[in-house]
Structures are given as C-alpha cells and as structure tokens.
Amino acid sequence: MGTDGVPARTGFSRRTILGGGAVALGAAGLGWGTATATNHGTDGPAGSQTEPFHGIHQAGIATAPQAYAAFVGLDLAEGADRERVTGIMKVWTEDAVRLTRGSPALTDTEPELARLPARLTVTVGFGPGVFDAVGRRDRAPEWLRPLPAYPTIDRLDPAWGQTDLLVQICSDDPVTVAHALRELVKNVRTLVHVRWVQRGFRRARGTENPGHTMRNLMGQVDGTENLRPDGDFDRLVWDDGAAHPWLAGGTSLVLRRIRMELDTWDELDRPGRELTMGRNLANGAPLTGTDEFDTPDLTARDQFGIPVIPPGSHVARSRFTHEGERFFRRAYNYDDAPTGPSTPGELSNSGLIFAAFQRDIDSQYLPVQQRLADHDALNEWTTPIGSAVYAIPPGVAEGDYAAGDYLGRTLLEN
Amino acid sequence: MGTDGVPARTGFSRRTILGGGAVALGAAGLGWGTATATNHGTDGPAGSQTEPFHGIHQAGIATAPQAYAAFVGLDLAEGADRERVTGIMKVWTEDAVRLTRGSPALTDTEPELARLPARLTVTVGFGPGVFDAVGRRDRAPEWLRPLPAYPTIDRLDPAWGQTDLLVQICSDDPVTVAHALRELVKNVRTLVHVRWVQRGFRRARGTENPGHTMRNLMGQVDGTENLRPDGDFDRLVWDDGAAHPWLAGGTSLVLRRIRMELDTWDELDRPGRELTMGRNLANGAPLTGTDEFDTPDLTARDQFGIPVIPPGSHVARSRFTHEGERFFRRAYNYDDAPTGPSTPGELSNSGLIFAAFQRDIDSQYLPVQQRLADHDALNEWTTPIGSAVYAIPPGVAEGDYAAGDYLGRTLLEN
C-alpha cells in the first residue's frame, strides 16, 4: 500500500495499462471477448496458443473457459509463516510465468511436456488459513468465511472442504494440465499438503463452433444467464480496493462440488425435467420463450391461470432479483469412477464443479444461494458435497519497473 | 459358423467388402491411414465427425487414437447365461450404432449430449468368464488366460483385475465419453456390475499437428516402434479364424495399468533417463541415431568399447527379436487424484493405461513382456498394478443382408 493512503496496487495497475502494450491491455479487464479475439486467431496448432499471465487481474477468470481444469486444494504445512508463504508465491509466480508461455518450469524435469500451453492459465486463491499464517488476519475480506450451513441441501464431505490455498489450472489440453499440476505442486512439496484435486472438463476445443453455452451431464444448458464481458462484468467481479486496498483487481471464488443424482434424474420424464428447470431441454429457451437467451417471464400464466414457469423451478429461484445479485460462473463437469468407497452401489459419480467469481460473496452470491437452499425444484437431483471460499489476489505486473512482483505481494509485503 | 466348415464370418466379411461402399472399406482393415483420411477431412466442428461402427473389425483399434478413453471392466451378474449375454450384446450393438453416428441411444435420457460423437468408438471384449457363462468354453482362445506372474515387477491390485466384459469408449470429446459410458452401462445395469473404470487421455485433438508420437507423463515419446497401418498390421493384429472360426476379424487385448513412479523418476538426471530408455529425451531418437524413427543400433559401441545403447535399456529389452514379436499399442495416460487410500503420501497417481492388441498373445506379446520382466532398466520407475486380457470379437456387418448381426454373434449363435 502506498504511504499516501492510495492503494499501491491501483497506481501500479494504471501504469501497467498506460505503459504496457497489447499484452497488458488484453489481460487488463477488457473482458474475455478481447482475450478470445487476441489469442484464438493464432495460426498453427492450438497447443501453441497462450493466454497472457500478467495483468491487473489474474488470468483464468475472464479468460474464455478452457476445456480442462484441475482445482487443487492445499493446506500449509505446520509452521508456515509470512516468509514461507511468500516463498511459495514467488515459486508459483515464476513457474506460472514460464509454463503459461510454453517454457519449462524453473526446475522442470519433463521440459518437453511444457512446450504446448494450449491457453494454460494458473490462478491462485487464499483461504482463511493464509491470513492467519502470515499474521494479516485484519486484511481478510469479511466475506472470506465458510458459507452458511444449508442443512436442507448440503451433505458436505470434509474431503472436499476449505483449504488454505487454491490453485486453479486450466488448459485446452489435458496433458498440459497434468504437467502443470505436477510441476506447481512438487516444487513446494515440503511446504504444503495437497488435500484434494478436482478435475473437470467441458466440450473439447473445436467440438462445437464457438458461442455455445455448455451443457452439464444432466443434459441442461448451463450458464445462459451468466455475466457477459461488458461493463457489468468488471464492476461485479473485480474488487476496487475500497475495503482492502491489497485486493484491488482481485476477486472472490466460491467453489462448490455439486453431485448430480443422475440415477433418479433419469427416472424423471422430459416434461418433468423442463418444469423443474423452467427451460426447454432441447434449446435451453425459458418455457415462456423460444430462444435460449429470451428473458424468462416469471409472471406469464397459461389459460388455466397456472404459471408457465413454475415459481419453484430452478430458473425462477436462481434468477437475480436486482442487478447486484449477479456473479460470474465458470463451471466444469466432473465424472469420476462410479465405484469406490464414496459411492457404493452407484452407477455414476458425476456432477458439477461450480466455480463462482464475484466481488462480494455476501451481497451477490449469498442471497441467490439462500433462495435456492430454501426451495429449488432441482434440489432433489443435486447435492452439494464440497464447499470452500477463497480470496483471489490481483494479477502480477510485468516489466522492469515491476521487477519482483509476485502473486499476493500486496497482501504479503510492506 | 457355416455348415460347410468355412467360417461364416469370413465369407460374410468378404461380402461386406465386395458389396459395401466407402464406409465398409474405410473400416475394413485398410488401416488407420485410410480411416484418418476419410474422417478427418470433414468440414464443420470436429464434434460432428464420425468413425464407422460397422465393418469386419470393431472400430477403436485401427482407428487413429482419439484424445480420451474410458476402459470399463464389468462382471456378469449371478445367473448369467447365453441368452442374457446375447441380450447385453444386442443392447450394446444398438446403442453403439446410434451413439457413434451422433444419435441418442435407444432409451437415451440426455439425447442432447449424444449430438456430437467426435469420432466416438465403442469396442467390446470378452474375458474368460463370458465363455463359461455362455457354455462355450471350448471356443475360448488358448491365450485367453491371466498373464504369467512377474513377481519381480508386478504389484497387481485386484481392483484393476480381470473382468468378464470390457467396453473401451474413445472420443475426441470428454463429454461424449461420459455420456456414452453412462448410457452403455445403465441400460444393462441389472445384468452386470461395474468393477472398474480407467479413464485416460492423450494430447487434445488439434494441440499438435498430426503425426507426432505421443509423450507419456514421464516425458518420453511413447510408441515410436508401434505397428504402422501397412500389410503387417492386418497380419499381426487380426485373427484369421484358423483356430476359432468365430474369432475371424477379431483380436486380443492385453490391458495393463502401469503406475509411473514419478517422484523417484524426477530424481534421475537427464543422462540417466536417456540411458534408461536408450533414447534421446528431446526428440526420441535412439542414442545411436538422430531421428526418432532411426532404427536403434544395439551393436554400436563407443570409443571405450561400451555399448552406446545399454543392453538393459528399455529400447534394447523391448525391441522385437523377430517380426512376429510385434504387436499394436494404443495407450492412454492416466492422472488420477494424488491423494486417497491407494496412494498415501504420494504426490501423483499417474501412469499409463497400456493397451496392446495382437492376434496371438502367446507368440507376440509374452516373449517381449517376459524379457522386460527379466530385466528392463525402466522397471525401477514403472509398476504394473492392473492386468487383464480379453478376446475382441469381430465387427458387426451392416445392411439388410446382415439384419440382426450384433457384437459377439459368431460366438453366441448356433
């Protein structure tokens, strides 16, 4: 933080925008449309395409979602302090800079696997434990605490619970994800314990023409009402540093692991599914419309006076009641082995890794989550089994003037 | 089988070739070059591309390897007999025909997920238990039995062991694999138990320009010496029906789950790794050559009289000693969660799903495997933890004249 009370990060970021070239601009909050246009046009195999690591914001949030993700939850080893956390962040920054541009990590033992980043991004988050470990509890955002218990829906398994650190690794190539995951974890292996790894996927790059909303494994279009990269995105996702100057340019992540009860879902007929969702399954249109992106008319009634979109449907319950209740979802499907101790006798172990980014969990996310917990027809077929929240620090500045910048510096230094 | 002693399958296949069009030819053993050329040239998104299901041989073997695979091991439920196995095969045939062309399965509850096959193939195999269940033990090939024990290398976990049935599902899209897996398994859920699912991946489609040999997660090129789709492929992979007429056009699969000891591998320096493999890591060339596809010179010695390629290296030990010792590998990487009961304290749970197809396991596969078990420098960093063998029945004929053909018909009927 600057000594004049102006957050250092803000001034810093302005310099990045003013002084930087196209790369800095591309990552500087102009949204994913820009990032997409910049990077997808590259000739040659898709594996050589890159997403810029540096910028005001971390990559992997406004970045057009890659096909594969690994979310890694890690706990700090006994005795972690500010020096040690700083060391981890410097190592991760260095390795992320290298890996995202297709270069081997600093101590890469399989450098040939680093050659094709395929739009690799590495995004780091801080759980509450980090603030304690570094003696900065006063800098923890107020919203950085466990979500309220939702006893009617939650069946939380501590195996998927809160961790001190999060690394989100995304790429259009699964070999790249596997390699980056291993490099990032092994270089700090004595300082952290991996608690869980959640691997997810969307449609492979190129399977569909761009612009399709992804479908989840229940067959529903998932994300129609998501924030688009317009002015609202920046305002609703990125922290402005007002409450915590160190966080300017950062955001928050709510990560929920939501199991899909596919076996019982399959017993529900199509009309039942459409009433549950409030949407047409074939094209995702609300039951009051014809196109996926038509605005649902929650007041429309049929000839018998019955609401066309049931008030308890997922669309009706999840819809924001005012503009400030919106957040940005960047979800991935998971489909793990259907056998094993956690799923005796079940045919599938599938669901959604629900990742929601927003500036303020309390005002944007919680009202919607509470409404869904109170009632949502879809709840019968979805079960939250994991839950964690993270503060996502701002991005890392590039260039000589920013020598020594690293992930989390504004929290850890001064 | 024909009543005149000529295997019905053979005559049948000839008719398929002679009477069929381009689709039948593409799948009829002209090799993967043909299949690749036929299907990869399609315009539009990659998701709509198909691999032909019908043909003399099952798809998914000579098919250019797709990016994702799920190998599913299933056991027959108590009381299975020929009628029941026939029922399973008819259901799988019907659903595979539909799913591989991008149509919903017969009772598909998520039909929208079936729309993009992305070169989906479904390949079915029979373990020894099937022959017992259907009362056809006399038709089981001699090689269809557990591999010999290799006590110096094997650490086999029954959790990855032999099953009655195998389904190999491959596609360039992971959502398609997940959907096909669920549809194929749930439609026979009362008749089988899923014992294991092994999910694997290669580089995503489009990550590299075509023609690259894949690298495994140790960073090695993996498959340089593999059979190419020339005349040898057909002769060495496809059964001719001489011993068991029902198997004409089929083959065998050895499926080994090979854990990679990446933690100790990472401690080995680059020269040590190259001597272990007998190959240059950067480009895969044998230590006696400059190009990946140079033939290793196992007799070459350096100025001190020491073999350039160590006699104990993987290249030296795995190399065929005569043409008949070759087989076709179609391997996938796996990278499961590094934590959990099976891997306490380990950083990675990674390895190779080693799938080898050959006409005769005894004469083609076992000599090589025995040599590697006796000594292979690489053994220190690789551990077989799963092993199973399957007879792969021939493909399914298409057209009115073949009405009613289904997977395994030549074994199950008459």
- What pLDDT was estimated at residue A210? 78
Q: What's the rounded Cα separation, in Å, for the pair B50 and B42?
A: 9
* 3-class SS of residue B367: helix
Return the residue in A71, A75, A110 with the most chain B beta carbons within 10 A, the one to mutate for interface testing.
Answer: A110
Mean of per-residue pLDDT scores for chain B: 87
Establish whether B222 is a catalytic residue: yes
Tell me the residue type at B210.
P
Hey, which residues 13-52 in chain A have their CB within 8 Å of chain B?
44-47
Hey, which residues 231-270 in chain B have their CB within 8 Å of chain A?
262-263, 265-266
Q: What's the rounded Cα separation, in Å, for the pair B361 and B338?
A: 33
- What pLDDT was estimated at residue A2? 36
Which residues of chain A fall below pLDDT 50?
1-42, 341-344
Q: B178, A217: Cβ pair inside 8 Å?
A: yes
Q: What's the rounded Cα separation, in Å, for the pair A6 and A14?
A: 12
Contacts of B347 in chain A (CB under 8 A): 182, 185-186, 189, 194
- When pLDDT is cut at 50, 70 and 90, the band that residue B42 belongs to is very low
Number of H helices, E strands in chain B: 12, 9
- What pLDDT was estimated at residue A345? 59
Q: Active site residue: B222, B239, B376, B405, which one?
A: B222
Give the number of residues written for chain A: 414
Q: Which of B47, B179, B207 sits opposite A46 (nearest CB)?
A: B207
Hey, which residues 279-308 in chain B have their CB within 8 Å of chain A?
281-282
Q: What's the rounded Cα separation, in Å, for the pair B397 and B15?
A: 10
Tokens 């077989």 -> residue: B384
The more confident residue out of B230 and B189 is B189
Q: Which of B46, B207, B333 sits opposite A47 (nearest CB)?
A: B207
Check the CA dihedral A175-A180-A186-A189 and report its sign.
negative
Q: Give residue-wise pLDDT tens across range B271-302.
A: 999 999 999 999 999 999 999 999 999 999 99
Q: Which two tokens stand for residue B397?
A: 């004929």
Within 8 A by CB and 6+ apart from B237, the residues are: B61, B62, B227, B251, B327, B328, B357, B358, B359
Within 8 A by CB and 6+ apart from B14, the residues are: none
Cβ burial of B45 (10 Å; 0-12, 13-18, 19+) is: middle
Within an 8 Å CB–CB cutoff, is residue A132 touching chain B?
no
Contacts of A186 in chain B (CB under 8 A): 263, 266, 347
Q: Give residue-wise pLDDT tens across range A15-30.
A: 333 333 333 333 333 3
**ipTM of this complex:** 0.87
Hey, which residues 143-172 in chain A have their CB within 8 Å of chain B?
172
Three-state SS letters, chain A: CCCCCCCHHHHHHHHHHHHCCHHHHHCCCCCHHHHHHHHHCCCCCHHHCCCCCCCCCCCCCCCCCCCEEEEEEEEECCCCCHHHHHHHHHHHHHHHHHHHCCCCCCCCCCHHHHCCCCCCEEEEEECHHHHHHCCCHHHCCCCCCCCCCCCCCCCCCHHHCCCCEEEEEEECCHHHHHHHHHHHHHCCCCCEEEEEEEEEECCCCCCCCCCCCCECCCCCECCCCCCCCCHHHHHHHCCCCCCCHHHCCCEEEEEEEEEECHHHHCCCCHHHHHHHHCECCCCCCECCCCCCCCCCCCCCECCCCCECCCCCCHHHHHCCCCHHHCCEECCEEEEECCCCCCCCCCCCEEEEEEEEEECCHHHHHHHHHHHHHHCCHHHHHEEEEEEEEEEECCCCCCCHHHCCCCCCHHHHCC
Q: Which two tokens stand for residue A100?
A: 């995202």
Within an 8 Å CB–CB cutoff, is residue B135 touching chain A?
no
- Nearest of B145, B169, B139 to residue B67 by alpha carbon: B169
Threshold 0.95, pTM exceeds = no
Strands (DSSP E) found in B90-223: 121-126, 165-171, 192-201
Distances (CA, A) of B193 to A124, B127, B391: 40, 14, 19
Distance from CA of A319 to the nearest CA of B (A): 24
Q: What's the rounded Cα separation, in Å, for the pair B145 and B141?
A: 9
- Give the alpha-carbon dihedral of A8, A14, A19, A25, to 10 degrees: 130
Tokens 């994800």 -> residue: A177
Q: What's the rounded Cα separation, in Å, for the pair B5 and B395?
A: 21
Strands (DSSP E) found in B212-310: 251-260
Interhelix angle B174-186/B82-100, nearest 10 degrees:
150
Within an 8 Å CB–CB cutoff, is residue A77 touching chain B?
no
For residues A185 and A49, the answer to whether their CB atoms sit within 8 Å is: no
Q: In 10 A of CB A212, how many CB atoms?
A: 16
pLDDT surpasses 60 at B214: yes
Q: Give residue-wise pLDDT tens across range A289-335.
A: 999 999 999 999 999 999 999 999 999 999 989 989 999 999 999 99
Distance from CA of A293 to the nearest CA of B (A): 18
Within an 8 Å CB–CB cutoff, is residue A190 touching chain B?
no
The DSSP output letter for B221 is: B
Within an 8 Å CB–CB cutoff, is residue A207 touching chain B?
yes
- What pLDDT was estimated at residue A40? 40
- What pLDDT was estimated at residue B404? 86
* 3-class SS of residue B382: strand
Contacts of A181 in chain B (CB under 8 A): 335
Q: What's the rounded Cα separation, in Å, for the pair B257 and B322?
A: 26
Q: A203, B116: Cβ pair inside 8 Å?
A: yes
Q: Give residue-wise pLDDT tens across range B80-118.
A: 999 999 999 999 999 999 999 999 999 999 999 999 999
Size of interface A-B (CB pairs under 8 A): 173
* 3-class SS of residue B167: strand
For residues A118 and A176, the answer to whether their CB atoms sit within 8 Å is: yes
Q: What's the rounded Cα separation, in Å, for the pair B275 and B316?
A: 11
The DSSP output letter for B390 is: E
| Own/partner long-range contacts of B403-407 (Cβ < 8 Å, ≥24 apart) | B405/B93, B406/B86, B406/B89, B406/B90, B406/B93, B406/B94, B407/B58, B407/B89, B407/B92, B407/B93, B407/B96, B407/B124
Q: B208, A181: Cβ pair inside 8 Å?
A: no
Q: Which of B118, B201, B219 sits opposite A112 (nearest CB)?
A: B219
Within an 8 Å CB–CB cutoff, is residue B77 touching chain A?
no
- Nearest of A42, A332, A395 to residue A171 by alpha carbon: A332
Distance from CA of B173 to the nearest CA of A (A): 5
Distance, CA of A188 to chain centre = 23
Within an 8 Å CB–CB cutoff, is residue B102 touching chain A?
no
* 3-class SS of residue B118: coil
Helix boundaries (H) for B333-388: 366-374
Q: A175, B333: Cβ pair inside 8 Å?
A: yes
Q: Which of A45, A112, A201 sits opposite B206 (nearest CB)?
A: A45
Distance from CA of A33 to the nearest CA of B (A): 20
- What pLDDT was estimated at residue A363? 97
Cβ burial of A394 (10 Å; 0-12, 13-18, 19+) is: buried
Within an 8 Å CB–CB cutoff, is residue A106 touching chain B?
no
Q: Which residues of A are annotated as catalytic?
A: 222
Contacts of B118 in chain A (CB under 8 A): 204, 207
